[in-house]
Amino acid sequence: MGWYSSKYAKNVAVIGIIIYILDYFGIFKHYHELDFQRHFDYPSGRPSDYDYTLIKNASEVCEVSPRLAIIVKSALQNINRRNVIRRTWGYDRRFSDVQIRRVFLLGVSDDPKTDYIVREESSKFKDIVQIDFVDTYFNNTIKTLMGMQWALKYCNSEYFFFVDDDYYVSTKNLLKFANNPSFYPKSRQNIAAQEHEDSDLFAGFVLQTPPHRHKFSKWYIPLSEYPFDLWPPYITAGAFVLNRNALLKLFTAAINIKKFRFDDIFLGIAALKANLTLTHCEMFYFNKPKYEGPSSYQNIVASHGFQNSKELEQIWNECRSAGYA
Ligand SMILES: *[C@@H]1O[C@H](CO)[C@@H](O)[C@H](O)[C@H]1NC(C)=O
Ligand SMILES: *[C@@H]1O[C@H](CO)[C@@H](O)[C@H](O)[C@H]1NC(C)=O
Ligand SMILES: *[C@@H]1O[C@H](CO)[C@@H](O)[C@H](O)[C@H]1NC(C)=O
C-alpha cells in the first residue's frame, strides 16, 4: 500500500509538472483564444492619454515642404548612429531636384550628461524632435505617435518614412517605391507617376501572426489583454512609409484606441479601425540580407540589422557609388 501510494504520488507530480510546462508554453491559452475573423474588437481610448510635450520641435526642418520626410526613431545614447545617418541615407541635400528632410525622435533621460550632449547636438544640427517621456523599448508606441503628431503639425511633406536608427535605407529606392508602390521594383516608363496622389499609402513589410502566449517571451501577452488567435495584419514597425492622407487617418484612429505597448500591432489595429489598406513590399527587410557587393542590394528599400554604424556607412557608400542608394 505504501509502495503503491508513493508511486501514485509520483505520477501525479509528473503529470502536474507536464501540465505546468504546457501552461508555461501557452498551450492551454490557445484553446481559449477567440477567432480573430469573427470576433475582433478593440477598446477605445482617450486622445488625452497621448498628450506629451514637445521639448524640441525642430520647427525649421520643414520650412520648405519636402517630398519626403525621414523620421528616425532613435535612442538617446545612439549619437554615432545619428551622425552616420546624417551623412548617408539621411543626408538632406542628397538630390538637387527632390527635397528631402530628416529628424530624429528622442525621449528624455534623467542623466544630466546625456541631456547635455543631446542639447548640444540639437543646437548644432537642429534636427532633433524631443518628447517629454521616458525613452524605453515599451514606450515605443508613444514615440511613434508623437512622431506622427509632429509630422502633421510641423511638416507638410508628401511622404513620411518612419524608421529605426539601426537600418540601412536606400533613399533613392524609397522615392521610387513611394511614387509607384504597386510596380516596384519594375519602373513604368511613359505612365505618369503619382498613381497614389488621391489614394492612401501605408506600406512596408506586412505580416499577420499569432500572439505569443508563452510566459518567458519578450512579447508575451495575456488573454485578458488580447483574447484573439491572430494579430490584425500589421507592418514591421522598424520601417514604414505613408502619404499625408494615410498618416492623418492612421493618427486619428490611433489616438482614439486604447494604448498597446507593441507599436507595430498598435498601428495594425489603428489601420483596421481607419479602413486603411496595408501595402506589402518584399524590399523592406527585417532580417538583413547577405551583402555580396552592391548588386545584391540593388532593389532593397530598407533593411534592419545595422547596429554597427561603420558597417552601415561602408555598405551604403558602396551602394550609392553603384547608383543603388
Ligand atoms: C518651437 O520651439 C521654439 C523654440 O523652443 C519656440 O520658440 C516655438 O514657439 C515653437 N513652435 C511652436 C509652433 O510651438
Ligand atoms: C513611459 O513613459 C512614461 C512617461 O514618461 C513613464 O511614466 C513610464 O514609466 C514609461 N514606461 C516605461 C515602460 O518605461
Ligand atoms: C470603415 O468601414 C466600416 C465598414 O465599411 C464602416 O462602418 C466604418 O465607419 C469605416 N470607418 C472609417 C473610420 O472610415
Q: What pLDDT does residue 236 have?
A: 94
Ligand 2 centroid distance, CA of 110 (Å): 12
> Which grid cell sits at 312?
552601415
Q: Give the amino acid at 209.
A: T
In short, whether 44's Cβ falls inside 6 Å of ligand 3 is no
Ligand 3 centroid distance, CA of 276 (Å): 10
User: pLDDT tens digit string along 25-56?
Assistant: 666 677 789 999 999 999 999 998 888 999 99
Q: What pLDDT does residue 196 have?
A: 47
pTM (2 decimals)? 0.89
Nearest CA to ligand 1 atom 3: 57
Classify residue 276 by burial, with Cβ atoms within 10 Å: 0-12, 13-18, 19+. buried
Domain residue limits, the chain: 2-31, 47-321
User: pLDDT tens digit string along 289-302?
Assistant: 999 999 999 999 99
Q: What pLDDT does residue 214 have?
A: 86
Ligand 3 centroid distance, CA of 257 (Å): 15
Question: Is the Cα torsion angle 107, 109, 113, 114 positive or negative in sign?
Answer: negative
Nearest CA to ligand 2 atom 9: 134
In short, whether 257's Cβ falls inside 6 Å of ligand 3 is no
Percentage helix, strand, coil, to 5, in the chain? 40, 20, 40
Average pLDDT by stretches of 10, the chain with 325 residues: 69 79 71 91 91 94 97 96 98 94 95 91 97 90 95 98 98 95 74 60 96 88 93 96 98 95 95 96 96 97 97 98 96
In short, whether 178's Cβ falls inside 6 Å of ligand 3 is no
Nearest CA to ligand 1 atom 13: 59
Residue range 47-321 in CATH 3.90.550.50: yes
Ligand nearest to the CA of 259: 2
Within 8 A by CB and 6+ apart from 36, the residues are 228, 229, 230, 231, 232
Strands of 52-189, DSSP E: 54-56, 68-73, 100-108, 128-134, 159-164, 167-169
Ligand nearest to the CA of 60: 1
In short, whether 252's Cβ falls inside 6 Å of ligand 1 is no
Element (H, E) at 144: helix 140-154
Ligand 3 centroid distance, CA of 35 (Å): 21
Classify residue 111 by burial, with Cβ atoms within 10 Å: 0-12, 13-18, 19+. exposed
Q: What pLDDT does residue 266 have?
A: 96
Ligand 1 centroid distance, CA of 150 (Å): 12
DSSP 8-class letter at 297: G
Nearest CA to ligand 2 atom 5: 133
> Which grid cell sits at 309?
554604424
In short, whether 105's Cβ falls inside 6 Å of ligand 3 is no
